[in-house]
Amino acid sequence: MKVLVIGGGGREHAICWKLSQSDKVTELFCAPGNGGISKIATCVPVSAMDKEGILNFAVANKIDMVMVAPDDPLSIGMVDYLEAAGIKAFGPCQAAAKIEASKVFSKGLMKKYGIPTAEYETFTDSAKAIEYLHRPSQTFPAVIKADGLALGKGVIIAKDMAEAEEAVKDMIDGGRFGASGAEVVIEEFMTGPEATVLAFTDGETIYPMVSSQDHKRAYDNDEGPNTGGMGAFSPSRNYTEDLADVCMKTIFKPTIEALKAEGIKYKGVIYFGLMLTPNGPKVVEYNSRFGDPETQCILPRLKTDLYEIFDAVIEERLSEITIEWDERPCCCIVAASGGYPVDYKKGYVISGIEDAEKEDTIVFHAGTGLDEDGNFVNKGGRVLGITAFGTTLDEAIEKAYKGTGKISWTDMHYRKDIGRA
Ligand code: AMP
Ligand code: GLY
């Protein structure tokens, strides 16, 4: 089978890496891909957002399946567009992808169907939002979220009224996050450890993957600005089997049922960002896709053929297959360009990748490219994800750091407390 993966980050490298191990996949393409992906797939210079370009490539090259990995193309209906043209595509349709693309939509869905999440209100008028913040029951920190997609950065945890007011004005009146911030959600601040559960679903059956946890802040001890994710590990230290049962009953199945009741068939990967609060697990957010960097520590643990799972989801026969996992924990450290997520310089030669790849360690590429001499250079904010297995989680963390220590380029930055904080 000829498969085209859409996207070009560390997550897509992990997806391509796993698909390349499938007996069913004879040719693998990735649009646009990256330096590391180019070693295992043919990179296609078409933007992930170019529906027509992707369709033309798929038709001209007789692609059997397109896997749409990032949120942006999902939110503009890439899957609907390809399917309408008769191309098999993996990922939720535009209506289903709204669970990530609009927090107003996802919060409304949870409220209507009684799925546990933080209490909230939505606003398009900053004066009304500020009036709401001034009601007597408001506590701090307050949580203010842009409605739409904002590269994982549209959430402000405001420690006091001044910060909360500023966040509301910035988003609604100041155009921060553009159209994504024109409507805001103000919600209750929840406490407790976080855990992430990704699941495959064909709209009927839901199959949770092994749990994980990511680290969103740029610096150690969860300080600094929010990023796309600085590292992840699997399994979560807090997500017990009992909690998994509770989540299945109160969150996972009800979400799929709620979408169905709204006339939406969700097919693809659904991401549950959970907070394990003293009052039970609650949804922090949904994403309509594999997480990045969670995928880089989850897919290495998958024993089953990923292509077969994708095919079963598309053909709505997920209940007929079994999915097996490696018991060994896994950890992924993200190595970023110095200054990320604000300003950073590109084009530095990266050394030590091959050396790091020894000893059960996999190096997934995100923002890398090749220079004229064929050397890997940093080309983006998050550059590499260094993933390792261990017999225990602590051993996986230690090995991932050992691998990371072998890699270097000018200004390389990584957190030293992944899996430990
Ligand atoms: P999100 O992009 O919605 O996942 O939010 C980013 C991060 O902000 C989450 O991973 C949480 O750490 C934090 N966060 C979001 N919503 C809340 C909330 N209601 N209470 C406490 N923390 C939150
Ligand atoms: N790591 C968080 C995300 O993929 O949104």
Q: Whose CA is nearest to atom 14 of ligand 1?
A: 284
Ligand 1, CB within 6 Å, residue ranges: 118, 143, 152, 155, 187-190, 194, 216, 273, 284-285
Edge-first strand order for the sheet with 382-389 is 213-214, 231-234, 330-336, 382-389, 361-365
Q: In terms of Cα–Cα distance, which of 370, 369, 381 is closest to 344?
A: 381
Exposure of 337 in the CB half-sphere (CA atoms within 13 A) = 22
Ligand located closest to 7 CA = 2
Average pLDDT over residues 125-135: 95
Over the range 104-135, which residues count as b (16 or more CB within 10 Å of their CB) and which as e? Answer: bbbbebbeeeebbbbebebbeebeebbeebee
Nearest atom in ligand 1 to the alpha carbon of residue 118 is 19
Q: Is the pLDDT of residue 24 over 70?
A: yes
Ligand 2, CB within 6 Å, residue ranges: 152, 214, 229, 287, 291-292, 294
- Compute how many other C-beta atoms are within 10 angstroms of the C-beta atom of residue 277: 15
Distance CA 204, CA 193 (A): 29
In a mutational test of the pocket of ligand 1, which residue from 111, 151, 155 has the highest number of ligand atoms less than 8 Å from its CB? 155
pLDDT tens by residue, 364-390: 999 999 899 999 999 999 999 999 999
Confidence band of 30 (pLDDT split at 50, 70, 90): very high
Average pLDDT over residues 1-9: 97
| pTM of this structure | 0.96
Exposure of 203 in the CB half-sphere (CA atoms within 13 A) = 21
- Compute how many other C-beta atoms are within 10 angstroms of the C-beta atom of residue 139: 7
pLDDT tens by residue, 43-71: 999 999 999 999 999 999 999 999 999 99
Confidence band of 421 (pLDDT split at 50, 70, 90): low
Strands 376-378 and 27-32: unpaired
pLDDT tens by residue, 185-213: 999 999 999 999 999 999 999 999 999 99
Q: In terms of Cα–Cα distance, which of 40, 6, 48 is closest to 21?
A: 40
Distance CA 331, CA 232 (A): 6
In a mutational test of the pocket of ligand 1, which residue from 284, 286, 287 has the highest number of ligand atoms less than 8 Å from its CB? 284
pLDDT tens by residue, 301-350: 999 999 999 999 999 999 999 999 999 999 999 999 999 999 999 999 99
Q: How far is CA 275 from the centre of its chain?
A: 16
Mean pLDDT of the chain: 96
Residue 267 dihedral angles phi and psi, to the nearest 5°: -125, 125
Percentage of the chain exceeding pLDDT 90: 93
